Chain A
Amino acid sequence: MSAVAEKTLTSRILSGIESKLPSLYGDGHARREAVTYLQEKGIPSKKWEDYKYINPEGLFRIGEFMSNAPVIREVTELDVERMTVIPGAMKLVIVNGVFNPSLSKLDRLPAGITVKSIDDAVLSDAVAKTHFGKQAITTSDPFIAWNTALNIGGVFVHIAANTQCEVPIHILHIAGNEAASTWHPRNLIVADRDSKAEVLESFETIGPVKTLTNVVTEVVAGMNAHLDHYRLQVEGEAGHQVNTTHVLTHKGSNYTTHTYSLSGAWVRNNLHIGFADQHTETYLYGLYVLDKARVVDNHSVVDHSLPNCISNELYKGVMSGKSTAVFNGKIFVRRDAQKTNAYQTNRNILLSDDATINTKPQLEIYADDVKCSHGTSTGRLDEDALFYLRARGIGQTAARKLLVRAFVEEVVDKVPNEAVKVYVENRLDDLFA
């Protein structure tokens, strides 16, 4: 793209953003700050180190059509039912970036659980006010800035102190419109001290029209909180997603995230783990399975700023067709973060000659009394194993499927929720059929 064309696109998009700036909530300062940041930095391009493998301008182009056109059709209870992952879970439904209480059915919230639309919560809820915008810093990334400028909805979930939430909380994102559209949902999940909960986010689309969901989620794991956070990215063939999740962990907390990128045209995940205290445990598990010309780009940062914390990251990928995957996992161990245990593993299987993986583990250690490791591997299916299976009468297709399933099992095994596991396994069966 030439400099002039780039400038034109940038100014066009920015004036689009400014002209559609929603009525402000809060003091409006954040929105103005976001627009200023985008004006100064411009739309990210492949020249940006963090976006070098993908085409971020293309995504902002989808955003050009931030139409106010009506949704392709009314999302119905049947849709919501069809998108069930965990039977009996609390469902919080977000349609085109806006929390929809009537589809959500909030009449049976367990004690200790508060659910509010985010725009309402930042005005009326003290907990939301305390944490909103504190992790995902507007001026740290263009997609966060874009979201901050334009978000009009999303959901705030508060798990009160000492609440052992037996019912999983399912935040269901549904996107779909008549014209190509971008949505900017914003979520805040606060698990207070000594609480325990399972939060599942799933991302679905309706219809064949291009959508971009530019979602920003902030998570706070309070003291001794135990939080399992699932993210199932199962959008349709025209679904695009930039998923920014910033997590802050407190003393004694145990936060685990399971990220499954199983469909959709294009997925970018920016996952950031920050530390408010010592003695936390964080586990990051990810699986991406790609075919056709799909793109999945996983960026993660685990920023060990304090001593005595544990983090373990395991991501696996299976690529076929002409798909492209990126894994960039950064672990920082800052100078004061002694006695850190930080591990990272990324393993990939390429099933076709035209599939690509760019994997870049980054470990930067500034403390001297730590245990850290990282490893990455990329290969094809083991030919000897394949022959061994075939020599027992198992056909090529079934043998390959067995080996791929075995490869991903290590990640799927980490899912403690049986319903989520079954859902993922069924999806994988379809993908490898």
Chain B
Amino acid sequence: MISIKNLHASVDGKEILRGLNLEVKAGEVHAIMGPNGSGKSTLASVLAGREDYEVTEGEVSFGGKDLLDMSAEDRAREGLFLAFQYPIEIPGVSNINFLKTAINEIREYKGLGPIDPKEFLALVKEKQKLVELDGKLANRSVNEGFSGGEKKRNEIFQMAMLAPKLAILDETDSGLDIDALRIVANGVNLLRNEGRAFIVVTHYQRLLDYIVPDYVHVLYNGRIVKSGPKELALELEEKGYDWIKAEANVEA
């Protein structure tokens, strides 16, 4: 699905990712954990194509194509989805219009005509149930006046609508109370299937109680310094990140 090799990226001349390697196959869920400032969100942003970040070295292949060569919109059209840590409010653009435009732009990229309005509305109805999103929210401006939990649910709703091949969840658990967390995780679990992969970026283990990963990776100083099964997350929760830092610094 996605293959990241020796990825180096910097922002404002400061190197954040320093040779990151990761291989994710269809159907897998990979959790990326790590202390603050380790480069977790940078990885998510670089993969999504945010232009503030400069890739200085390495390659990323997505579905056999060179991901780094693509614009942000083409990455999305190829099936990459980033659930934002801080979803943007866009006053004046309705959620519905936004999603319809997105779906039609993706369809056009694939050589398809616009989606049938009835089919679209049926899809909206079906998918907003996944995250228990109020129908009224779907008609409001994108994220405007949404609570933190509603914004995150809206991200998962958008994911469900766009049906990506690879979804990257950037700290989706941040700022959520336990009920909202459960709803969001439940939505994600319903979207898991053998053709779809997930990269779940999180600081805390608690999200992984609900979205159970196949692999856990620890990011530190811009590199993956430890990988393991889901139990690694529990170990991190118990022992914190200091032992990882110590290990990594010894190896370095």
| Interface residues in chain A, defined as those with a beta carbon under 8 Å from any beta carbon in chain B | 382, 384-385, 387-396, 398-399, 402-403, 405-407, 409-410
CB distance from A44 to the nearest CB of B (A): 38
**A contact face: mostly helix, strand, loop, or mixed:** helix
B75 proximity list for chain A (CB < 8 A): 391
Does B148 interact with chain A (Cβ within 8 Å)? no
Of B50, B90, B101, B103, which is within 8 A of A385 by CB?
A: B90
Q: Please state if A406 and B106 are interface contacts (CB–CB under 8 Å).
A: no
B93, A406: Cβ atoms closer than 8 Å? yes
With A387-B51, A388-B88 known, 20 other A-B pairs at CB within 8 A are A384-B88, A385-B88, A387-B72, A388-B84, A388-B90, A390-B72, A390-B73, A390-B76, A391-B73, A392-B98, A393-B73, A393-B162, A394-B98, A395-B105, A396-B71, A402-B93, A402-B101, A403-B93, A406-B141, A407-B92
In the complex, the answer to whether A402 meets B73 with C-beta atoms within 8 Å is: no
Within 8 Å by CB of B92, from A393, A394, A410, lies A410
CB pair B93 A398 closer than 8 Å = no
Q: What is the minimal beta-carbon distance from A412 to any residue of chain B, in angstroms?
A: 10
Please tell me if the beta carbons of A396 and B87 are within 8 angstroms of each other in the complex: no
Q: Which residues of A contact B87 (CB under 8 A)?
A: 388
List 11 A–B pairs whose Cβ atoms lie within 8 Å, in order of A's numbering.
Answer: A387-B72, A388-B88, A391-B72, A392-B158, A393-B77, A393-B106, A394-B73, A396-B71, A398-B105, A399-B73, A406-B141
**Which residues in B have their C-beta under 8 angstroms from that of A387?**
50-51, 72, 88
When C-beta atoms are compared, the residue in chain A nearest to B164 turns out to be: A393
Of A391, A398, A403, A410, the residue contacting B90 (CB under 8 A) is A403
CB distance from A59 to the nearest CB of B (A): 36
How many residues does chain B have at the interface if contact means C-beta atoms less than 8 Å apart? Answer: 32
A residues less than 8 Å from B103 (CB atoms): 393
In-complex Cβ contact of A391 among B49, B91, B92, B99 (8 A): B49
Residues of chain B lying within 8 A (CB to CB) of residue A399: 73
- Chain B residues lying within 8 Å of A393, measured Cβ to Cβ, are 73, 76-77, 102-103, 105-106, 109, 162
Which chain B residue shows the least CB distance to A384?
Answer: B88
Is B17 located at the chain interface by the 8 A CB criterion? no
The answer, among B50, B84, B101, B141, for a CB contact under 8 Å with A394, is: B101
Known contacts A390-B72, A391-B72, A396-B73: A402-B98 contact under CB 8 Å: yes
Residues from chain A with Cβ under 8 Å of B50 in the complex:
387
Alpha-carbon gap, A394 to B98, bound state (A)? 9
- State whether the Cβ of B82 lies closer than 8 Å to any Cβ in chain A: yes
Nearest-CB residue, chain A, relative to B143: A388
Which residue on A lies nearest to B141, using beta carbons?
A: A406
Contact indicator A395/B90 (Cβ below 8 Å): no
Which B residue's beta carbon lies closest to that of A412? B92
B1-25 Cβ-contact flags toward A at 8 Å (1 or 0) = 0000000000000000000000000
Residue B46, interface by CB 8 Å: no
Name the CB-closest residue of A to B102.
Answer: A392
Residues of B within 8 A of A (CB): 48-51, 71-73, 75-77, 81-82, 84, 87-88, 90-93, 97-99, 101-103, 105-106, 109, 141-142, 158, 162
> Would B93 and A394 count as touching, CB distance under 8 A?
no
Instruction: Pick the residue among A382, A389, A396, A410 that contacts B98 (CB under 8 A).
Output: A389
Shortest Cβ distance from residue A298 to the other chain B in the assembled complex, whole angstroms = 22
**Smallest beta-carbon distance B46→chain A, Å:** 12
Residue pair B90, A406 in contact (C-beta under 8 Å): yes
Return chain B residues, CB-CB under 8 Å to A391.
Answer: 48-49, 72-73, 75-76, 81-82, 84
Chain B contacts for A396, CB-based, 8 A: 71, 73
Residue in B71, B82, B92 whose CB lies within 8 Å of A409? B92
Contact, CB under 8 Å: B92 / A406: yes
Chain B residues contacting A388 (CB-CB under 8 Å) are: 84, 87-88, 90, 142
Residue in A388, A392, A395, A405 whose Cβ sees the most chain B Cβ within 10 Å: A392
Cα A392 to Cα B163 in complex, Å, equals 11
Chain B residues within an 8 Å CB radius of A407? 92
- Report how far A391 CA is from B92 CA in the complex, Å: 19
Q: A397 → chain B, closest Cβ, in Å?
A: 10
Distance of A19 Cα from B102 Cα, bound (Å): 63
| Assembled-state Cα–Cα distance A403/B141 (Å) | 12
Residue of chain B at shortest CB distance from A409: B92
Minimal beta-carbon separation of A387 from chain B (angstroms): 6
Contact of B73 (CB < 8 Å), options: A382, A385, A395: A395
Q: How far is the CB of B138 from chain A (nearest CB, A)?
A: 15
CA distance A46 to B117 in the complex (A): 54
* Nearest CB in chain A: distance from B159 CB, A: 10
Of listed B72, B84, B99, residue having the most chain A CB within 10 A: B72
**Which of chain A's residues have a CB closer than 8 A to the CB of B92?**
405-407, 409-410
A9 and B106 CA atoms in complex are apart in Å by 60
Q: Which residue of chain A is the closest to B51 with respect to CB atoms?
A: A387
Given contacts A385-B88, A402-B101, contact A390 B71 (CB under 8 A): yes
Residues of B within 8 A of A390 (CB): 49, 71-73, 76
CB contacts (< 8 Å) of B97 on chain A: these are: 402
Distance (whole angstroms) from the CB of A364 to the closest CB of chain B: 31
Give chain B nearest CB distance to A347 CB in angstroms.
Answer: 12
Of chain A, the residue at the smallest CB distance from B48 is A391
Bound-state CA distance A164–B167 (Å) is 58
Nearest-neighbor residue (CB-CB) of A388 within chain B: B88
Shortest beta-carbon contacts, A-B, top 5: A406-B92, A393-B76, A388-B88, A392-B102, A390-B72
Q: Hey, which chain B residues are within 8 Å of A394, CB to CB?
A: 73, 98, 101-102, 105
Give the residue name and chain of the B residue nearest to A410 (CB): B92
Give Cα A406–Cα B99 distance, bound, in whole angstroms. Answer: 15
